[in-house]
Structure 1
Amino acid sequence: MVRPIPFAVTALALVALAVAPHAQDMPSAPAAKEGSERPAWQAHGLKVQNPNSPFDEVVSGLYFRSKETQDMQADDFNNPGFLAVEQGEELWSKVDGAAGKSCASCHNEASTSMKGVAAAYPKWNEKLGKPVNLEQRINICRSGALKAEPWAFGSSELTAMTTYVRNQSRGMPVAVKVDGPMTPWFERGQSLYYQRNGQLDLACASCHEKNHGKYLRADFLSQGQSNGFPVYRLRDQRLVPLHERMEGCMQDVRATPFKPLSDEFLALETYVAWRGLGLPVETPAVRN
Structure 2
Amino acid sequence: MIRSPPRARWGAAAVLALGLGVSLAIAQTAPPASERKSGFAFMSPESQAMQMDDAANPGMLWVAEGETLWTTKVGPDNRSCADCHGDAAVSMKGVAARYPAYFEEEHRPVDLQGRINLCRQARQKTAALPYESRELLALAAFIGKQSRGMPITPATDARLEPFRAQGQALYEQRQGQLNFSCANCHDDNWGRRLGSSVIPQAHPTGYPLYRLEWQDMGSLQRRFRNCMVGVRAEPYPYGAPEYINLELFLMTGAKGMLVETPAVRP
TM value normalised by structure 2: 0.89
Q: Is the 8 A contact 2:180 2:231 kept in 1?
A: yes
Q: Is the 8 A contact 2:166 2:245 kept in 1?
A: yes
- What is the root-mean-square deviation of aligned Cα atoms in Å? 2.0
Instruction: Give yes or no for the alignment of 1:55 onto 2:32.
Output: yes
The residue that corresponds to 1:41 in the other structure is: none
The 5-angstrom pairing of residues 7-22 of structure 1 reads 19-21=17-19
Identity %: 40
The 5-angstrom pairing of residues 27-176 of structure 1 reads 54-57=31-34, 58-176=36-154
Deviation, structure 1 residue 59:
1.0
Instruction: Give yes or no for the alignment of 1:207 onto 2:191.
Output: no
The residue that corresponds to 1:25 in the other structure is: 23
Q: Is the 8 A contact 2:70 2:82 kept in 1?
A: yes
The residue that corresponds to 1:232 in the other structure is: 210
The residue that corresponds to 2:219 in the other structure is: 241
Q: Is the 8 A contact 1:175 1:278 kept in 2?
A: yes
The residue that corresponds to 1:270 in the other structure is: 248
C-alpha distance in structure 1 between counterparts of 2:201 and 2:96, whole Å: 21
The residue that corresponds to 1:49 in the other structure is: none
Judged with a 3 Å threshold, the aligned counterparts in structure 2 of structure 1 residues 109 and 56 are, in CA distance, closer, same or farther, namely closer
The residue that corresponds to 1:257 in the other structure is: 235
Deviation, structure 1 residue 203:
0.5
Judged with a 3 Å threshold, the aligned counterparts in structure 2 of structure 1 residues 17 and 287 are, in CA distance, closer, same or farther, namely closer
User: Which one has the largest radius of gyration?
Assistant: 1
Aligned residue identity for 1:264: E
Q: What does the per-residue CA deviation read over 1:134-156, in whole Å, with 9 as the maximum and x for residues that have no partner?
A: 00100011011111111000100
Q: Is the 8 A contact 1:61 1:225 kept in 2?
A: yes
What is the number of equivalent residue pairs in this alignment? 250
Deviation, structure 1 residue 24:
4.8
Judged with a 3 Å threshold, the aligned counterparts in structure 2 of structure 1 residues 107 and 18 are, in CA distance, closer, same or farther, namely closer
Judged with a 3 Å threshold, the aligned counterparts in structure 2 of structure 1 residues 246 and 182 are, in CA distance, closer, same or farther, namely same
The residue that corresponds to 1:195 in the other structure is: 173
Deviation, structure 1 residue 53:
6.5
> Equivalent residue of 2:129, what SS?
coil
**Unmatched tracts of structure 1, length 5 or more:** 1-15, 29-51
TM value normalised by structure 1: 0.83
